[in-house]
Amino acid sequence: MDKFTAIMAEMNNTAILYAKMDLNAAGSAYPTNSFAMANSIVSMAPMRTILAASYGNMCQQFTNSSGNFSSLIIPKPANEISSDRMSDIVRKTAVLISVEHNHQIWLTFEKCVTFGNKHFVKIYDGPYSTSPLLLSRSGSRIPFSVRSSSNELYVEFPSYYDVTRGITAVYSSINATSEPFIPGCGGYIKGEGVISTPTYSANPDI
């Protein structure tokens, strides 16, 4: 069994859907998005049923030296959803990033908007959800960039039907280094620009 298959098996054996969803009486499954791999459900239970774990899990693997990914846009349920249950319409999504050996991964966020203290973006330093946790964040504040200690990162994040929520992240492979990583330092600049050493005054009052 390869690593990606093992991850899918692990996800399918773990109940990770965040909450209950409203379904119509006959039950309906959202279509599988081509963005990800997912298992379909043969039959659905009546309304207000906790969906099976295989319905809520999606995973994609990236092996290029750089790339980007975002939360999926899941279809809005046919039934009207009350405002206090908007946070229930969510799918948990996972991405495995694997770059060449002797490299590390630099990952930074361009967008990160989740329901605070309810849906979390989590980054693990390795290929599994049991790898050391590098980041756990919810809310609307964009997290600091992270750097892996190896050539693999595992990222979990929520996907919504509301396009104003979710995440967008970019990653790049960098040469492996033994220098300690300090969160909030370093990163990448997109486009053209100039970086220069700051000028300090000898006069502490200026």
Q: What is the pLDDT confidence band of residue 139, given thresholds at 50, 70 and 90?
A: very high
- What per-residue confidence (pLDDT) applies to 35? 30
**Is residue 198 one of the residues assigned to a domain?**
no
Distance separating alpha carbons of residues 78 and 29, to the nearest angstrom:
11
pLDDT in tens, 182-201: 776 555 444 566 666 656 55
Average pLDDT (6-10) is 53
- What per-residue confidence (pLDDT) applies to 88? 85
Handedness of CA 22, 28, 31, 36 (dihedral sign): positive
What domain range includes position 108? 55-75+85-175
Nearest to 56 by CA among 157, 168, 170: 157
CA atoms within 13 A on the CB side of 181: 18
**Is residue 105 one of the residues assigned to a domain?**
yes
Least confident of 86-90, 117-121, 127-131, 171-175: 86-90
CATH of the domain at 124: 2.60.120.290
pLDDT in tens, 30-43: 333 323 333 222 22
Total structural domains within the chain? 1
pLDDT in tens, 48-63: 222 323 334 567 899 9
**Is residue 37 one of the residues assigned to a domain?**
no
Handedness of CA 183, 186, 188, 191 (dihedral sign): positive
pLDDT in tens, 70-109: 999 888 877 877 878 888 888 899 999 999 999 999 999 9
Nearest to 127 by CA among 45, 67, 63: 63
> CB under 8 Å to 58, separation ≥6 — which residues?
33, 35, 36, 37, 38, 72, 91, 92, 93, 94, 159
pTM for this structure?
0.65
**Is residue 98 one of the residues assigned to a domain?**
yes
**Is residue 121 one of the residues assigned to a domain?**
yes
**Is residue 160 one of the residues assigned to a domain?**
yes
**Is residue 61 one of the residues assigned to a domain?**
yes
- What per-residue confidence (pLDDT) applies to 1? 59
Nearest to 145 by CA among 116, 120, 112, 113: 112
**Is residue 129 one of the residues assigned to a domain?**
yes
